[in-house]
């Protein structure tokens, strides 16, 4: 029919209403709306494989930018300190980016559910490029630190928005393979970043580590934006709970400062650290109270605690990433003291841990596309990683044996990432994927920082030495007996095994919901 008669609809519904309401509706005038000339509303055409590949390449490049800036700056810090004649504040060049990127991850995730992915990817990349330019032209260390904070705002927004766009483009069953690609991007950034940063700082100019972001961001936007119009739209406009967002970011900054400064710049029981702990707890409690008493909170707590998928997937991914980052940060110390490797050789010895975890993620992603019981690969992987962690905690191996066990541990650990991310996104409604993805990145960053601080505390207690200054003062580290360092790292490996066991238990407890997507499950794998 070309005409819609509202009165007729009322007549059909009046019979089921109370008499007074029915009488009122019956007195409403008949209104006829002619829609014969209205153009049909057609859904956007599905993306072709070529368009999906183009979007994927642009998203990988975008994520590479954010990941690279967490690793490329470290090797250029001495050169920057000499130019600005300020070494005492150099750590803030790293800390400012880390604080900002962690605090805004849930904010950008939620805003992408409100204003859309296209708007937020443009905003995050624009902030990132603006911060990069300001870093490159910074006249002093203060401006550089502030610019790094601005750059961190953009970098922290890139991560959840990119992962959310992928969830809009490909089905959950296929999504695990793409999450494995993102793990590869992080691995590449971790390996390439320090080398490129050192080359730029030593042979060219340190500002190039920031200038290089500008053309890469332009290329990324040029590839992505023309295709964004074809991506399905799932966001829902609603009122933004800015107070909740501010409380969340403030509490995150306080927690990150405690984890960054505690046991390093200040003693754990110093008045400064205790005051920041109190501020972090007060802000977190204020956020929880506000979220529970607001109609549409910025980050719905029920979304994170409801059901048997989201909390378990979030904890599993956070524990696995925390163990990986904690070992990556502290293992060079073990290599240098126990195996007498140089700093560059110790860096190369980290490659198995970083690279093989990407292989585990790729294997799990491909398994998810084929297997009905897709979480079994993550259960097996984290269980085996736990066993290898126990082996490291109870034995002392030659270097080749250590690298072999670390590779096997990383292979099992990597299976957690695609399974946890895809399960998390598959468990919530489409308009909430950005919110839950931002929250996931937020808690993963907090867990990584917590693990680095916890492992450092374990080493300090076991060794009784100020290893936090190892990068600048080699004397205290070189004077530590090899046997003491081996014993201390047995505790570290044991702590990593406990975290991996927690990830395995969460994977066991997590509900395994069917994944939507192409019917590619072979008959023999249906059971």
Whether the predicted pLDDT of 390 surpasses 90: yes
What is the per-residue burial (b if ≥16 Cβ within 10 Å, else e) of 429-467?
Answer: eeebbbbbbbbbbbbbbbbbbbbbbbbbebbbebbebeb
How far is the C-alpha of 239 from the C-alpha of 389, rounded, in Å?
47
Per-residue pLDDT tens over the stretch 321-355: 889 888 888 888 888 888 888 776 777 788 888 77
Per-residue pLDDT tens over the stretch 152-189: 888 888 888 887 887 777 777 777 677 767 777 777 77
Instruction: Tell me the sheet residues that pair with 262.
Output: 266
Band of residue 14 on the pLDDT scale cut at 50, 70, 90: very low
Per-residue pLDDT at 487: 87
Mean pLDDT of 309-331: 86
Whether the predicted pLDDT of 279 surpasses 50: yes
> 495 burial class (0-12, 13-18, 19+ CB within 10 angstroms)?
buried
How far is the C-alpha of 299 from the C-alpha of 242, rounded, in Å?
11
- Residue 151's nearest CA partner among 105, 186, 101 is 101
Instruction: Tell me the sheet residues that pair with 32.
Output: 5
Band of residue 40 on the pLDDT scale cut at 50, 70, 90: very low
- Residue 179's nearest CA partner among 382, 420, 513 is 420
Tell me how far the alpha carbon of residue 393 is from its chain's centroid: 28
Per-residue pLDDT at 505: 93
Band of residue 226 on the pLDDT scale cut at 50, 70, 90: confident
Per-residue pLDDT tens over the stretch 119-131: 888 888 889 889 8
pTM: 0.75
Per-residue pLDDT at 524: 38
Residue 172: HSE in the Cβ half-sphere, 13 Å Cα cutoff: 21
Per-residue pLDDT at 386: 93
Which one-letter DSSP state was computed for residue 69?
Answer: T
How far is the C-alpha of 364 from the C-alpha of 179, rounded, in Å?
10
Between the CA of residue 28 and those of 10, 16, 23, what are the distances in Å?
A: 9, 17, 9
How far is the C-alpha of 93 from the C-alpha of 484, rounded, in Å?
33
Residue 192: HSE in the Cβ half-sphere, 13 Å Cα cutoff: 12
Whether the predicted pLDDT of 441 surpasses 60: yes
Q: Nearest 5°: CA angle at 420, between 419 and 421?
A: 95
Per-residue pLDDT tens over the stretch 42-80: 445 566 667 777 778 878 888 787 777 777 777 677 777
Mean pLDDT of 217-226: 80
Per-residue pLDDT at 16: 44
Mean pLDDT of the chain: 76
Share of the chain above pLDDT 90, in %: 7
Give the highest mean pLDDT range of 214-228, 233-247, 341-355, 412-426: 412-426
Residue 339 sits at φ, ψ, to 5 deg, of: -105, 0
Whether the predicted pLDDT of 471 surpasses 70: no
Band of residue 233 on the pLDDT scale cut at 50, 70, 90: low
What the block records as the tokens of 325 is 């980052």
Lowest mean pLDDT among 143-147, 217-221, 261-265, 326-330: 261-265
């Amino acid at each position: 029919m070309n005409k819609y008669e509202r009165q007729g609809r009322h007549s059909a519904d009046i019979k089921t209403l109370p008499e007074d309401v029915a009488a009122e509706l019956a007195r409403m005038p008949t209104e006829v709306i002619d829609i014969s000339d209205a153009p049909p509303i057609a859904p956007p055409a599905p993306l072709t494989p070529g368009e999906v590949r183009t979007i994927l390449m642009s998203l990988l490049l975008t994520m590479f930018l954010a990941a690279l800036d967490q690793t490329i700056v470290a090797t250029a810090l001495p050169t920057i300190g000499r130019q600005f004649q300020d070494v005492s504040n150099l750590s803030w060049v790293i800390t400012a980016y880390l604080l900002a990127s962690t605090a805004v991850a849930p904010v950008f995730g939620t805003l992408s559910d409100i204003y859309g992915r296209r708007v937020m990817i443009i905003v995050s990349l624009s902030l990132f490029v603006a911060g990069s330019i300001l870093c490159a032209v910074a006249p002093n260390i203060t401006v550089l630190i502030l610019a790094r904070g601005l750059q961190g705002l953009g970098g922290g927004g890139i991560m959840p928005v990119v992962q959310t766009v992928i969830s809009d483009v490909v089905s959950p069953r296929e999504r695990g393979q793409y999450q494995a690609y993102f793990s590869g991007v992080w691995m590449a950034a971790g390996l390439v970043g320090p080398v490129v940063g050192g080359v730029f700082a030593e042979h060219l100019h340190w500002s190039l580590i920031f200038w290089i972001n500008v053309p890469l961001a332009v290329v990324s936007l040029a590839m992505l934006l023309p295709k964004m119009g074809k991506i399905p739209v799932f966001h829902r406009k609603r009122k933004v709970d800015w107070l909740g967002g501010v409380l969340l970011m403030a509490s995150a900054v306080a927690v990150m400062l405690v984890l960054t400064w505690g046991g390093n710049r200040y003693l754990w029981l110093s008045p400064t650290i205790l005051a920041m702990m109190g501020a972090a707890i007060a802000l977190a409690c204020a956020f929880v109270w506000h979220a529970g008493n607001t109609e549409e909170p910025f980050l719905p707590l029920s979304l994170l605690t409801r059901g048997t998928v989201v909390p378990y997937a979030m904890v599993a991914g956070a524990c696995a990433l925390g163990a990986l980052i904690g070992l990556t940060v502290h293992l060079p110390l073990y290599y240098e003291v126990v195996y007498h490797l140089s700093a560059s050789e110790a860096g190369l010895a980290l490659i198995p841990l970083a690279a093989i975890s990407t292989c585990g993620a790729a294997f799990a992603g491909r398994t998810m596309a084929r297997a009905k019981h897709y979480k079994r690969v993550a259960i097996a992987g984290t269980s085996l990683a736990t066993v290898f962690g126990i082996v490291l905690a109870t034995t002392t191996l030659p270097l080749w044996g250590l690298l072999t066990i670390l590779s096997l541990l990383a292979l099992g650990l990597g299976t957690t990432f695609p399974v946890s991310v895809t399960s998390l996104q598959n468990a919530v409604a489409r308009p909430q994927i950005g919110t839950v993805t931002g929250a996931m990145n937020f808690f993963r960053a907090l867990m990584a920082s917590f693990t680095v601080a916890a492992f450092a505390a374990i080493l300090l207690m076991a060794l009784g030495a100020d290893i936090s200054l190892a990068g600048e003062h080699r004397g205290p580290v070189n004077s530590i007996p090899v046997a003491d360092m081996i014993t201390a790292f047995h505790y570290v490996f044991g702590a990593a095994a406990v975290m991996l066991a927690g990830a395995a238990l969460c994977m066991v407890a997590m509900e395994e919901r069917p994944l939507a997507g192409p019917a590619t499950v072979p008959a023999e794998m249906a059971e």
